[in-house]
Amino acid sequence: MTITIQDADAVRALQGLEDDRSSVRLRAALAVGTTPDRRFVAKLIERCAIEPEFFVRDMLTWALTRHPVSMTLPELLGEVRSKRGQARSQALHTLSKIGDPQAWPVITRTLLSDADDEVARSAWRAAVVLVPEGEESALATVLATQLGRGERETQLSLSRALVALGEATVPALLAATTAPDPRARAHALATERILRDPDAGFESAIEEAKRVVALGGSGEEGR
């Protein structure tokens, strides 16, 4: 069997994706994205699930976006159901970059409340990109159930997702300002402030909100 130059290049690129050196894997992902080929798709997705380096994962996602959606979408939708958290997270991240509305049905309430913070954050980002027109309020209601969750980075991700939905998120945030959980109330108030004033920093907004909640307020006084 004769191996063409193109085949040899493809073999080298696929091997490079598994190299022990992250710099080699990064270059291999760049090469694969530069010259898309259907033979690369399965390996790119497989590597996304286990790649330890952030910059390499980002390049793997970029390489996938360079391939036709008809090749990548079915594989990515399957990965979203993986038992491996990184596989779910990276697949959702890639779907948000591709932005194809056919992926919307896979964004379930279960994913939006996934116990793995990285998966949930990726689901939030994907959701606000993929949500169909007219369903923003329903999405905001689901996202609001996650207010108060996690540490600052996770809370900031959720606030950004809610703010990205614009005015559709206001009723859900208003309801959350009277939630039993003080962390959820403070997070809702901080997100409300950022929605009203996009220049407000999250740190100052959350600290102010925590003071309001500690003093027994709900933020109604400032509306």
Q: What is the pLDDT along the chain (223 residues), one digit of tens a residue?
A: 333 436 777 788 889 999 999 999 999 999 999 999 988 999 999 999 999 999 999 999 999 999 999 999 999 999 999 999 999 999 999 999 999 999 999 999 999 999 999 999 999 999 999 999 999 999 999 999 999 999 999 999 999 999 999 999 999 999 999 989 999 999 999 999 989 888 777 777 887 888 888 777 555 544 4
Q: How many other C-beta atoms can be found within 10 angstroms of the C-beta atom of residue 35?
A: 13
CA distances from 95 to 77, 79, 208 (A): 8, 11, 35
Q: How many other C-beta atoms can be found within 10 angstroms of the C-beta atom of residue 185?
A: 23
Could you tell me the pTM of the whole model? Answer: 0.87
- Contact between 185 and 193 under an 8 Å Cβ cutoff? The reply is no
What pLDDT shows up at residue 218?
A: 52
What pLDDT shows up at residue 217?
A: 57
What pLDDT shows up at residue 6?
A: 63
Quick check: helix, strand or coil at residue 80? Answer: coil
